A and B are shown apart, each in its own frame.
Chain A
Amino acid sequence: MKPLSCPAAGPPPRLPVSRLRAADTWPLALLGLVSRPARAALSAVGVALGIATMVAVLGVSGSSRAQLVAQIDALGTNLLTVAPGQSFGGQDVTLPPSAPAMVARIGPVIGASAIGDVNAQVYRNDRISAANTNAITVYSADTGLLRTLQGQLARGSFLNAATARYPAVVLGTDAAAALGVDRTGVLLWLGHRWFGVIGIMRRLPLAPELDRTALIGYPVAQRLLHATAAPVQIYVRANPASIAAVAAVLPATADPAAPQNVSVDDPITALTARADASVAFRELFLALGAVALLVGGVGIANVMVIAVLERRAEIGLRRALGARRLHVAVQFACEATLLAGCGGVAGAVLGGFATAVYAAARHWDAVVPVPVLLAAAGIALLVGAVAGLYPSLRAARLVPAEALRLG
């Protein structure tokens, strides 16, 4: 029998092309899923749980970290203290009067406030025995001290440019209690003069040494009590990211002539606690989430393999309608990816919700970073694409006539 052949003359006829538009690919995949909504939902659950676990772990640990950071920040990771140390010979030294201003000029320093020695005692009135000091120390203070320490007032106001020049005093919590002062306007006998109480501070967690002090302004201390301008302690607030750099330059800045005499309290201990707290157990839970995700991916692959078997007729029909192997493979791969993507989105929402509930129960601010959510969606899509690879190749390999016959 003579086989058919193209005519010898003229160009060969152009082969017809089978083409599936990109715009039709995802609706086609969606159609496959909505045809079996219950199965699609159940098979997406695995991925959703995996993603939810990972998002919740990262969200909870992120929220916990944020909370911890706030607490540690309150305890002073970005607070440094500068004090005169001891000279090489063991003698007490003083900081130069210019030290606070110099320190404040360091770039990342947010605020610097100093206190200075005042050679005076404070009493409830002028009838109290001189020996009965209640162990209250009188310091001169910068008007910005309370702000630098992030402290709060229980009563009245802190020293300002005006009150710092007059006999006005602000008491620490313990000092006020010891003196029996619970309101402003009371007069105290301080350095053999009457000083009016203008404010009572709440406890200062960052500087508990100031809870039993009476603070007066620099100008009035110098004018009336002959205090020196040399600070005994400088409180420095700096940008947390630059804390180590600031700590390194503080001695030379505070006392350029004798930096070795300057003592800087560094927050390394607190920083270490922060780093430790941020990683504890997170890896373990992330690994558990990854396992759940893997199981979810295997579940999707399994469901898709079954779908290929069940939908042989549909595959055969699509091939009869002109679908190429590639089109069939793409359809099933997209279905698997979409399935996992839906699971991923559901998981991200679930994980975010779990984070919010957990954080709310602990009175934290919920923190779910957007990159985590995007990464979760990306991972889910990747899991789906990998899970769909084998089933889609199986679908593509079906012989159309056989698929129609068996379907």
Chain B
Amino acid sequence: MSALELVGVSKEHPGPVAALRSVTVTVRTGEFTAIVGPSGSGKSTMLAIAGTLERPTTGSVRVAGLVVDGLPDRALAGVRASRIGFVFQQFFLVPTLTALDNVATGLLYRGVPAAQRRRAAADALAEVGLSGRAGHRPAELSGGECQRVAIARALAGRPAIILADEPTGSLDSAASAGILGLLAELNRGGATILVVTHNPEIAGAASRVIRLRDGRIEHDSEAA
């Protein structure tokens, strides 16, 4: 079963500037896919479209079996809330909340009661190895720990796919290695991961690497 399907997806910005040109990709459940490519190649645009944060100019997107083309904003929000987990380079943690509450935020828009959110958050924190830091605020955590919290937030809702945009972009090499190990471990546990990265180590660890250039797929390790 596919966790994500992009069929003939193009994205043009006013100009016109083509960020993506007829990209077709299927990410199967359980895959660990890395999208690599030079800056401006369309990696982040592809991730945003895959995550329904942006609509393609043409083409179709299916997330966990659901065709999202033309869905209204509220339905797209529902898709993101229930089927997609995001991890960003800048972590985007709320500084006034503890690690546990930051993770619980991942379930805020599912209509889940607070106590249940916190239980799921505690489980997710345990998965990323940060149970002992649940009560700490982001300022008290290292960069690597912050990103682990962000990953736990993405995991908390048990999404069909985790989309990560440069998850090691703000980390030193040791912390990057830790995050890479965590992603690989989560993948071994069954999580489907699509990661946009410049980090060759992540690309090396992924089960599949897609190289983009000028909005087109230049190379897909699976196709090769």
Contacts and interface: CB of A to CB of B under 8 A. Distances in A.
Contacts of A18: 74, 77-78, 80-82, 109-110
Interface residues of B, number: 49
- Highest count of chain B CB atoms <10 Å: which of A4, A28, A324: A4
A321 B8 contact: no
A248 to B, nearest CB: 66
Contacts of A327: 77, 109
B86 A321 contact: yes
A361 interface: no
B113 to A, nearest CB: 7
A392 to B, nearest CB: 15
B81 A15 contact: no
B140 to A, nearest CB: 16
A323 B108 CA distance: 8
Contact of A15 (B60, B62, B71): B71
A321 B109 contact: yes
Interface in A19-40: 19-21, 23-24, 28, 31, 34-35
A360 B80 CA distance: 61
B75 interface: yes
A343 interface: no
Contacts of A320: 51, 53, 80, 84, 86, 88
Contact of B111 (A13, A21, A31): A21
Contacts of B100: none
A375 interface: no
B62 to A, nearest CB: 5
A280 interface: no
A322 B74 CA distance: 9
A314 to B, nearest CB: 7
B181 interface: no
Contact of A4 (B44, B60, B80, B84): B60
B48 interface: yes
B109 A15 contact: no
A204 interface: no
Contact of A19 (B83, B90, B94, B109): B109
A4 B7 contact: yes
B75 A3 contact: no
Interface of B: 5, 7-8, 22, 24, 44-45, 48, 51, 53-54, 59-62, 65-67, 69, 71, 73-75, 77-84, 86, 88, 90, 92, 94-97, 105-106, 108-114, 153
7 contacts: A3-B7, A16-B75, A17-B111, A31-B97, A319-B53, A319-B80, A325-B73
